[in-house]
Chain A
């Protein structure tokens, strides 16, 4: 466990040094957030509330999406894949630490930096521009926090799992890109999933993606209430358990393959 936090700390410091990247990310988040919020304003021209989400809620949704994007890092992560192709994975596998935890620790460090520098800043910034919806009450806030942590775990264990495809194919990059495009749509980043027709929603919830972002947003906006929240969080936990287990299984198969092929 000490090793875990040590790695987290190192990763935290490393990501703090990406000064220009952080500023650039913030500027980008603001710009695209404003565009997305404008689209919501235009859509709500004739409506006051759609599927339990008001215009204020939708704008908050756009802001939250931009605030969480750096923290969740859902749309690109090729680091593990790269170590497979460079061969650096060999020394990582030999470390006295579970391979999944080894990467998770670093991702937590990365996520913390992004949450503090980008997530919080983005929300404060948007608060000046728009009348955002804010959560109230300890229960609500702790539900949001829990869901956010779970979102990161779903996002990470999914990214870990798909990166493992690099054990089998030299073209994992294309496969990963394909999955990242899917998560872009089905996570609810583009639009709250509730706005889509029922058949799209049904497909979404067969996939892990809604649990990376949409759930947290729905908890935040108060669209889910009481037992619905508990159910949603449980659902996230189930996905984490499933994805982690799949990751361990696939990793074991991959390592066996790697050993047989001699790297």
Chain B
């Protein structure tokens, strides 16, 4: 275990050093990922003045979950970018995945260690900025439990989004042409989670409650922290299911991933 961690640290170290060699494009890309996150938030924040609420939620409340999701997705992308479906599909087709299979190390660890998108720092920074400004906009009555829950939400979402990336990567064993549909999992999931779930149609919300438990990763914790009423009458412990939901997603993803590798080994690509 310790050896595994050390190896992981070394692989990541290599990735970081490699990226640092291209200084200018490194900083440009940090700015770029920050800009995307900022503009996406701005598109919502700037129109709020003309609408006042998002089905009952104020800008501050929306910003709180939006920022947490941006931040978590950015952190996830740092660690799981080896599984980024858009990148992983090419990785497989260029034979790089085969090269990893020829090394006597756990393949999942190697894919994790094959990329570390440092440029996501830009997105993370914007996410943090949005959360901080949201905290300023909301009169939150902070308790130790709320602070702990906020931290847990970030970690859980990282696991959750990581699971989405792994599932997306697994699908790309079967197809690269359909890569766009995989975006539903990754960017679609992140878009759902960064908005209050009660604005989405019931079917979609039920799917993201009972099949992909995204609702517990952002919406319910936010209801608790911002002290908002629950429109769906879930049990009182619903806000605290976040870590379970995140781990469940990651676990399911790894099961699917193993299946995908077996498929890959029987068909090649």
Chain A residues at the B interface, C-beta cutoff of 8 Å: 18-21, 23-25, 27-28, 31-32, 34-35, 38-39, 41-47, 50-51, 171, 174, 177-178, 181, 184-185, 190-191, 195-197, 200
Contacts and interface: CB of A to CB of B under 8 A. Distances in A.
A38 B199 contact: yes
Given A24-B177, A38-B199, A178-B32, A43 B188 contact: no
Contacts of B180: 21, 24-25, 27-28
A28 B171 CA distance: 15
B199 A42 contact: yes
B56 A181 contact: no
Contact of A181 (B32, B200, B204): B32
A248 to B, nearest CB: 28
A41 B52 CA distance: 13
A38 B201 contact: yes
Contacts of A41: 55, 199
26 contacts: A21-B177, A24-B178, A25-B181, A27-B180, A28-B180, A34-B204, A35-B192, A38-B199, A39-B44, A39-B54, A42-B196, A43-B47, A43-B53, A43-B55, A44-B51, A45-B55, A46-B53, A50-B50, A174-B29, A181-B36, A184-B39, A190-B40, A191-B43, A195-B46, A195-B50, A197-B49
Nearest to A129: B201
A31 B184 contact: yes
Contacts of A42: 54-55, 195-196, 199
Interface in B16-30: 24-25, 28-29
B181 A24 contact: yes
Contacts of B29: 174
A18 B175 CA distance: 12
Interface in B47-69: 47, 49-56
Interface in B232-264: none
Closest 7 CB pairs of A and B: A24-B181, A42-B199, A24-B178, A42-B55, A190-B43, A20-B177, A195-B47
A236 B196 CA distance: 38
B56 A45 contact: yes
A27 B181 contact: yes
Interface residues of B, number: 40
Nearest to B199: A42
- If over half of A's interface residues share one DSSP class (helix, strand or loop), that class is named, otherwise mixed; here it is helix
Interface in B94-125: none
Given A178-B28, A190-B40, A43 B51 contact: yes
B191 interface: yes
Given A28-B188, A38-B199, A197-B46, 10 more contacts: A21-B177, A24-B178, A24-B179, A34-B201, A38-B200, A38-B204, A41-B55, A42-B55, A46-B51, A191-B43
B132 interface: no
A20 B50 CA distance: 41
A97 to B, nearest CB: 30
A51 to B, nearest CB: 7
B35 interface: yes
B147 interface: no
A177 B52 contact: no
